[in-house]
Amino acid sequence: MLAIIAGYLIGSIPFSFILPRVTRGIDIRKVGTGNVGGSNAIRNAGKITGIVAGLLDFAKGLVAAALVLKLTTPSIIQDIALLSPIVGHCYSIFIGFKGGRGIATTLGVLLFISPEIFGIFIAISLVGLAFREAGLSNFFAILSMPFIAPFFAPQYFRALLFVSLFLIFRRTVFVIYDVRRGGRFGHYLLNRLLFDAPEKTNFRR
């Protein structure tokens, strides 16, 4: 339980909120997409600020995973604890349970527990970037984790299944707000699930 709490608190450190606030006086929750993550920080607080914030979000996943594995043995508790920094990033206790999409923090966790799966995730994402479809490629990368886990990190299959399901939930939970503004549930669900945006035509990385 200590590992779960520690992982969550480390993940909750909102670097993508802190750096734009300190360097530019910007509340990242009130500009752009409102997402407290590196991509929104890059677009609205500058490339350097956004990249540094993204790297720190990645680092906290790496540190949290190292701590979790030191404090736990293979079990359902360990699986939940490995998910906890990603939940912390997405629902930070320090900024009213707001947060980002969790991709950078997930990559930090992945690098520590399975460099092979980390590499596959990056490769899929890079293909998407080449075609300017970052949201779609991230969807396939997220979906792939539990399927490739048995080949590279079978001991973390359950943890990666939890992570994959949570990240898909995180993408689709915003459908609630889309529908409230008017529109078809199925239309928004598909766009959120595949492209992480309410409208495909408005999607930009």
Confidence of residue 205 (pLDDT cuts 50, 70, 90): very low
Written as six digits, the tokens of 12 are 């909750």
Which of 123, 97, 79, 102 shows the shortest CA–CA distance to 168? 102
User: Structural domain tally of the chain?
Assistant: 1
DSSP H or E run through 78: helix 76-90
Q: Which amino acid is at 9?
A: L
Residue 198 is assigned to a structural domain of this protein:
no
Residue 171 is assigned to a structural domain of this protein:
no
**Domain assignment of residue 55, given as a range:** 1-112
Phi, psi of 98 (to 5 degrees): -95, 170
Residue 88 is assigned to a structural domain of this protein:
yes
Question: pLDDT, tens digit, for every residue of 47-105?
Answer: 999 999 999 999 999 999 999 999 999 999 999 999 999 999 999 999 999 999 999 99
Question: pLDDT, tens digit, for every residue of 163-194?
Answer: 999 999 998 887 777 777 776 777 777 777 77
Residue 70 is assigned to a structural domain of this protein:
yes
CA distance 125 to 142: 10
Residue 144 is assigned to a structural domain of this protein:
no
- Exposure of 113 by Cβ count < 10 A (0-12 exposed, 13-18 middle, 19+ buried)? buried
Residue 50 is assigned to a structural domain of this protein:
yes
203 pLDDT higher than 60? no
150 vs 194, which has greater pLDDT?
150
